[in-house]
Structure 1
């Protein structure tokens, strides 16, 4: 646990920026005390490409957050994106006593983890989908049940070991200890999804700068996770190339005037465009900007659609799709997504947090807020099946999800 048990901190390592959030736990309430954000050019699609730049961005974000919160940060929960391997697995053990105990659950989860993975990948999450006792399936909490055979179905997530080690260097270089690594979309989903959505079936789609992360819940269990190597930074680059404007200006134009649907932009509106090389600005119809943006947004949504179809879970998404990440805030994105995907689609807003309204209601902060919720409540997550502690890390990063474990231990 955090050295001060009432204070937790999460660090979201994004492609364009690092965000650190500090929260105070007041019973069942999570009060946001401070947030720090700093541009980062040391990460690309979740992979560390420059340790010095990443470590510096972490330092600045943590310093700002701790100063705003008025407390010292020593331990953090860290988001993980980048290359991951996910798969569904099963495990089976014989119950040692007359009824299932925590030790039996530990063993069956460990058995489910025993799958062949590339040598340079490490399991970071074991997420139970259900337990089966003597052939009876659909069990959420098997502890205390009578039986001789315990089985489980789980969703495993493994991350690149070299990348985990590089992330660890970036964190520990700043004198911080790592409590756990948490998959980026898993953290974000904790902040924005409702329990009934996860029960009925929902996909959380995080549209980040350089990647789209997808996580699917059915019957409150994680069934599928993946990452697509495309994001809102591709839209920015299209604008820069199409209008011959600097990348920084293209990003500002996207945020201020961008729209994902051309037909929703007025014909007679004009905007001024800064030109590369210091050349004079030029005026263009605002609709021209949208004509550049819409094809890329359609491509992103089409890739999401094909991925959901290939997962075979699309028909089971009774609660539809919840969008997250800065890319989804582009006006018209959600409407276009619903039109193409043909399922209910909404933009997710973090809920269940107090203090600092400008932070807690911003969808761009979903991952960092989800990290402190993971830390504060656990949301059913427990470190049940630990892996060996790595140098520079504080404790296991294996975690399992499910409301059934909230009252255990």
Structure 2
């Protein structure tokens, strides 16, 4: 029986966000609780101090417990480590029935065959994404159940991650009192929340700019082509400003948020920022265009990484659905124009698709209009897909096999 509550826990480099949703009669999740806490013990998407990270997760899940003990027993957690890889795999099996009809056990068997891949030490499979099934040489089949054929194949994209990083996230959640319902790779969560089916059909790249990392996933013909995470994000922009202006990091973050702009040519040469507004006792002013040049330089480097990934896929400048930006870094003014310039793609800031949700509290509407909450909202949608809250809706092609059980005593 499907659970009635799902909690999404997104332990980011700078912020830990939590969402709790309740299943409605029509199967849609109803947003019940949304909040965030500053993160500790996390660096570039990976836990570096288990004690500190567990304390933050503990405070967050304590609030969840006050609202619903049931939600605490069904927590979906994002995995944001850059030490993750993707590889294409293929499984082949003979159809077992005499009448050649394909049953569920045939599908399960060919999926298991596709998971027989070589993994480096300390890597574990997070997802086995089914891109297409092939029956007797005829491909592009989403679900072969009930079809007839002698040979069944599956084309998959396997996502594996550094096991110690995954165990760290799991352990922090468990020490905080949460019971894990699923572990999901961060960019896929963002894609589930912010991308429509038409965008995935056309071809689109989603770019998730977090504080310590930047993730991406590429879709075409409703198939996941590629996904990865880079160890650079909005926090690197802050550090660059601190170094360039020789000011404290805290002041650099405030200046970035209040006066930052991603495209230097659009900032007037005479615009200045008074330092004493951010650093008590400081004298003088700094050029706002110089700040924009620092920001543009770092962001252009990040988008250059993404451009290289698209070139390897043969999709550079060739995704009709364009680029969709999410995460805190997507709120930087001028960033869509910079992405258009660097990637030669139509660009927009992505928001959570509100139609999939039931909302009673109007105060929660602001979270659907904030790209920072795309990931944590996507965790709930993934959980609802996994637990078939809405059987009639299109379910996710990714099946989470409760992989955390392999690490439990």
* TM-score, structure 1 normalization: 0.89
Task: Give the aligned length.
Answer: 391
Task: Give the one of 373, 382, 391 matched to 1:374.
Answer: 382
Q: What do the CA deviations read for 1:97-125 (whole angstroms, capped 9, x no partner)? A: 12111111111111001000112111110
TM superposition shift of 1:272 = 2.4
TM superposition shift of 1:81 = 1.4
In structure 2, distance between residues paired with 1:330 and 1:89: 38
Does residue 168 of structure 1 match 2:166?
no
Give the conservation status (yes or no) of the 8 Å contact 1:43–1:50.
yes
Q: Tell me what 1:91 maps to.
A: 91
Give the conservation status (yes or no) of the 8 Å contact 1:349–1:366.
yes
Task: Give the one of 389, 395, 409 matched to 2:405.
Answer: 389
Q: Tell me what 1:397 maps to.
A: none
Q: Tell me what 2:50 maps to.
A: 51
Alignment of 1:53-92 (within 5 A): 53-65=52-64, 67=66, 73-82=72-81, 83-92=83-92
How large is the RMSD of aligned CA atoms in angstroms?
2.3
Give the conservation status (yes or no) of the 8 Å contact 1:172–1:392.
no
In structure 2, distance between residues paired with 1:354 and 1:273: 45
- CA, structure 1 residues 211+67, in 2 after alignment: closer, same or farther (shift >3 Å)? same
Q: Tell me what 1:121 maps to.
A: 123
* TM-score, structure 2 normalization: 0.89
Q: What do the CA deviations read for 1:290-312 (whole angstroms, capped 9, x no partner)? A: 12222112222222212211232
In structure 2, distance between residues paired with 1:388 and 1:40: 23
Q: Which range moved further: 247-256 or 71-80?
A: 71-80
- CA, structure 1 residues 25+238, in 2 after alignment: closer, same or farther (shift >3 Å)? same
In structure 1, distance between residues paired with 2:39 and 2:241: 21
Q: What do the CA deviations read for 1:172-226 (whole angstroms, capped 9, x no partner)? A: 1011111110000000111100100101111111111122111111111111112
Alignment of 1:245-284 (within 5 A): 245-273=247-275, 279-284=281-286
In structure 1, distance between residues paired with 2:241 and 2:376: 29
Give the conservation status (yes or no) of the 8 Å contact 1:36–1:60.
no
Does residue 241 of structure 1 match 2:243?
yes
Does residue 341 of structure 1 match 2:343?
yes
Give the conservation status (yes or no) of the 8 Å contact 1:109–1:385.
no
- CA, structure 1 residues 332+388, in 2 after alignment: closer, same or farther (shift >3 Å)? closer
Task: Give the one of 325, 350, 367 matched to 1:359.
Answer: 367
TM superposition shift of 1:35 = 1.4
Does residue 193 of structure 1 match 2:201?
no
TM superposition shift of 1:276 = 9.9
TM superposition shift of 1:128 = 0.6
Q: What do the CA deviations read for 1:239-294 (whole angstroms, capped 9, x no partner)? A: 11112221111111111110011222234433222599965243223223212222
Q: Tell me what 2:389 maps to.
A: none
- CA, structure 1 residues 67+334, in 2 after alignment: closer, same or farther (shift >3 Å)? farther
TM superposition shift of 1:24 = 1.6
Task: Give the one of 225, 228, 232 matched to 2:227.
Answer: 225
Q: Which range moved further: 40-49 or 352-361?
A: 352-361
In structure 2, distance between residues paired with 1:251 and 1:223: 35
In structure 1, distance between residues paired with 2:243 and 2:29: 44
Q: What do the CA deviations read for 1:39-74 (whole angstroms, capped 9, x no partner)? A: 113111222110011111112223345556797522
- CA, structure 1 residues 65+36, in 2 after alignment: closer, same or farther (shift >3 Å)? farther
TM superposition shift of 1:391 = 4.1
Does residue 288 of structure 1 match 2:287?
no
Does residue 9 of structure 1 match 2:7?
yes
- CA, structure 1 residues 189+33, in 2 after alignment: closer, same or farther (shift >3 Å)? same
In structure 2, distance between residues paired with 1:236 and 1:286: 14
Q: Tell me what 1:404 maps to.
A: none
